[in-house]
Chains A and B, each alone.
Chain A
Amino acid sequence: MAGTQLPNDPYNIIITGVGGQGNVMASRVLANMLVKKGFYVTIGETFGASQRGGSVMSHLRVSKKDTWSPQIPKGKAHVIVALEPTEAIRVLADYGNPDVKVVSNTRPIHPAGVIAGDLNYPAIEETKKTARGISSHAWFIDATDEALRLGNPILGNIIMLGALSGLDDLPLDKEDFREVIAESLPQNKVDINMEAFDLGRGLLKE
């Protein structure tokens, strides 16, 4: 586990996914964990209409000393957490750089245009290759499948947070996670979330 030093200040995280995947919840949990460690965290979010089946993004700025813009400048992400694989590519196109790291779920959510047959959805192998070509490292995790095994697909975002913690770029410890989710979830849901967090961390370390 890293100390409370950040690899960069501000350290820029983008959590991306599709409306309804729990993007907002994941970014809040992550931010609260970091606030507990004494950081300034700014989250910029898209919601409202864009939530309805659209691409959603949360920008997190983590800093020792200041509040930063809720929008990360183009090309300045340090890590991208994608709850849906093609969303990783969409975000990389704008915010990627040679040093960026990517942690992505593998489960596709087909846009209406793909369902309708108007658009093509790339194969996961293709997405992996693309992501690896424009990042310093990209990890792909079967988070939704694992979450289904745990009994609820929404746990996919917690598995992804666990995976992010496995990067050891940020001081994300398990006990902070427990505290944060205990504040917003009923007691009986805490254990399964802890399990999901650990699972994600383990998957990344593999």
Chain B
Amino acid sequence: MSALLDKKEGAEHLLMGNEAIARGALEAGVKVAAGYPGTPSSEIIESLAGVAKDANIYVEWSVNEKLAMEVAAAASFAELRSLCVMKQNGVNVASDFLLHLAGSGTRGGMVLVPCDDPGALSSINEGESRFFARTVEIPLLEPGDFQEAKDMTKWAFELSEELKQLIMLRSVTRLSHASGNVRFGTLPTGEAKARFRCDGFILDPDEGIVISAPVDYKHGQQHEKLKRAKEIFEDSPFNTYEGPEKPELLIITSSACTLYSREAISILGLKERVGLLKLGTTWPLPPKLLTRYLSLAEKILIVEEVLPFLEENVKVIAAETASEIGIKKFYGKNDGTIPMVGELNPDYVINAITKILEIEYLPRPEEYAAKTQGLAFFGAPQRELIFCPGCPHRASFWSIHNALELDGRKGFVCGDIGCYTMALLPTGFTTLKTVHAMGSGSGLASGFGKLGQFGLDQPVLAVCGDSTFFHTAIPALINARHHKSDFTLVVLDNSGTAMTGFQPHPGLEVNAMGDNVPDLDIAEICRSMGARVEIRDPFELEETRATLNNLMEDNEGLKVLILRQICGLSPEKKAGKKYEMAINEEICLGENCGCNRVCTRIFRCPGLVWDKEKQVTRLDEVICTGCGVCADICPAGAITRKEAV
């Protein structure tokens, strides 16, 4: 049994932030959880899916974030507690429903957990979900450590029920993907019955219809809820202060920045000079609490990641109460004390404090620091991101690249989000020319495919993964087909949501909880739209290339090439090598005319290593996964494969 279901109250476990959130939801008696995979959020739904059977809850990986929020909201409307989870930009996808849900209100406690990715460690954006809370006017909570991640999640459900409103609980990478000790509370034992009451008085929040109209009335209700939230937040134990009674500098912070700030104060030995106001309830801010602490110091430093959300909200309160608290000197993102871009760490906070208080700080002796100068560059070669050994994408993009070069009409590929995003780097032969949101490769291609009228004579291609296909590519394809847009979509079908840890999607026969479910056939879906559909194995390089050239030369509308080969990290593939590879050093042409290291210089599978001394390619048997593709790349026949036993 998973530690997440440990019934022992007070038991202490090392949990990842995401697991702590999952445990908090379990302690709150969550019944339905839905999400769409996205780093750094995925482990919340994964953890819940893992215990779904034992905990008697329903967990799904929905087709996209909007669906996830709708699925979770239905449970709330039926008086169950529900959770929906997504990464920061997922909130954008869900935001249309989110706006209306905030207007209609909820019944069973419902919590939205977006996990932001400051510094874009696993994203191509630094999106902010906190502003959504302000924009759609719902309460926002931000846990400051692992224990709080659990405790606040549990409390968020109670708060949601008290306010009859959706609560946003925002995490960040350094909480979601970090781990720490968490002391457990109790797990509920009661059963819950789902029922949807909708026959009562039309405006009754518990029995009426669920809608955000009449807008003036419902919007007014929403503000009443926010007002009530403020009152509750004034006394919340998640807002804490540590430090002297009259600090020289007051730091106001939230989320992971709490830990950075505390560490900075500790390293600088400033516990007697600097105060730390840590806020867990960050929207709407409790004004009395803020007024009280703002009064303590003249200098205020606001430490937060991504946008100056807290900073702006605090400044509004400071302006409104200026006559009471006096004029403050503010430091933060707006004045450049804290960087506007990228994630923070203790060192950024140390820098900010030393600048404000004009203190010297040397993390290590100057002499030592001098010795490490340039070391990271000369002593440790940079590691660019690459496709894993045996990755089908490397083979797919090899063929796509070659087909485009042979075609010679300057065709291009629109990409989107997945492992295959890396095809904009040398590992994918710099094939992708646009990358935006999920499904946007297909959407952009639908648009490019209509520009023939204005002289665009370049072939248009798009790629999407199998999970992305279901997420948002389908509407783009429908649009393209209906409007006779001319492009070729390559579906890189590796049988799972590989980038985020191989979660299932509607194309597979299994769901998040391991149940058998109907699988939807991507090829049939495309055919039903009237697209010309071909299916190939990307490991068959020449066949894939030829098919693609053929599709690109077919100027009649929508074409779909499905490249099917399971992800190299899938449990099935990891179980064993398909081929034993060998390299005949005698035959290897190395850098000579006729090859010039095409395998290590261009194909660049990490399983192949260039032996500078012997001037031949060697096989790294620890890394090679035995996919066999490089044998077809080698012009000399020096790389060979034989079926593994």
Contact = CB atoms under 8 A, between A and B. Distances in A.
Interface of A: 18, 20, 28, 31-32, 35, 40-50, 52-55, 67-76, 86-87, 89-90, 92-94, 96-98, 107, 109-117, 119-122, 126-127, 130, 133-134, 144, 148, 153
A109 B623 contact: yes
Given A69-B346, A97-B363, A111-B382, 11 more contacts: A28-B14, A48-B40, A53-B388, A67-B147, A73-B345, A76-B267, A90-B375, A97-B368, A113-B381, A122-B381, A130-B375
Contact of B350 (A35, A73, A111): A73
Contact of B121 (A46, A67, A72, A117): A46
Nearest to B609: A110
B313 to A, nearest CB: 24
A52 B179 CA distance: 21
Contacts of B622: 107, 144, 148, 153
A93 B179 contact: no
27 contacts: A35-B13, A43-B178, A44-B178, A46-B177, A48-B121, A48-B122, A48-B177, A49-B39, A53-B383, A53-B385, A53-B388, A55-B380, A67-B259, A68-B259, A69-B345, A70-B259, A71-B346, A74-B347, A89-B380, A93-B379, A96-B368, A98-B368, A110-B609, A112-B426, A130-B379, A134-B368, A134-B375
Contacts, number: 200
Nearest to A156: B622
Contacts of A67: 145-147, 180-181, 259
Nearest to B148: A67
B579 interface: no
Nearest to B389: A20
Contact of A112 (B147, B174, B177, B386): B386
A112 B379 contact: no
B516 interface: no
Interface stretch (B54-62, B134-142, B599-607): B599-607
B31 to A, nearest CB: 28
A68 B178 CA distance: 11
A52 B263 contact: no
Most buried by B among A45, A54, A153: A45
A121 B499 contact: no
Nearest to B376: A93
B250 interface: no
Nearest to B174: A70
B365 interface: yes
A93 B546 CA distance: 49
B372 interface: yes
Interface string B127-161: 00000000000000000011100000000000000
A21 B109 CA distance: 41
B446 interface: no
Given A116-B601, A120-B381, A49 B178 contact: no
Contacts of B260: 69, 71
Contacts of B419: 52
A115 B600 contact: yes
Contacts of A43: 14, 178-180
A205 B604 CA distance: 39
A110 B383 CA distance: 8
A77 B369 CA distance: 14
A37 to B, nearest CB: 12
B586 interface: no
Most buried by B among A67, A70, A92, A121: A70
Interface in B585-630: 597, 600-602, 604, 606, 608-610, 622-623
A44 B175 CA distance: 8
A118 B63 CA distance: 42
Contacts of A113: 381-384
Given A35-B14, A115-B609, A45 B379 contact: no
B376 A90 contact: yes
B156 to A, nearest CB: 20
Contacts of A47: 39, 122, 177
A72 B347 CA distance: 9
Contacts of A44: 174, 177-178
Contacts of A71: 174, 260, 345-346
Nearest to B262: A69
Nearest to B14: A35
A34 to B, nearest CB: 9
B604 A116 contact: yes
Nearest to B13: A35
Q: Which 7 pairs across A and B sit closest by C-beta, in order of nearness?
A: A48-B122, A75-B363, A70-B178, A90-B380, A48-B39, A89-B379, A53-B386
Nearest to B602: A116
Contacts of B193: none
A52 B180 contact: no
A130 B379 CA distance: 8
A173 B609 CA distance: 38
A90 B378 CA distance: 9
B375 A92 contact: yes
Contacts of B145: 67
A55 B350 CA distance: 25
B256 interface: yes
Nearest to A96: B372
B61 to A, nearest CB: 17
Interface in B93-129: 121-122
Contacts of B329: none
A126 B381 CA distance: 13
A93 B256 CA distance: 25
Contacts of A115: 600-601, 604, 606, 608-610
A19 B426 CA distance: 18
A137 to B, nearest CB: 15
Nearest to B263: A69
B383 A112 contact: yes
B409 interface: no
A78 B345 CA distance: 18
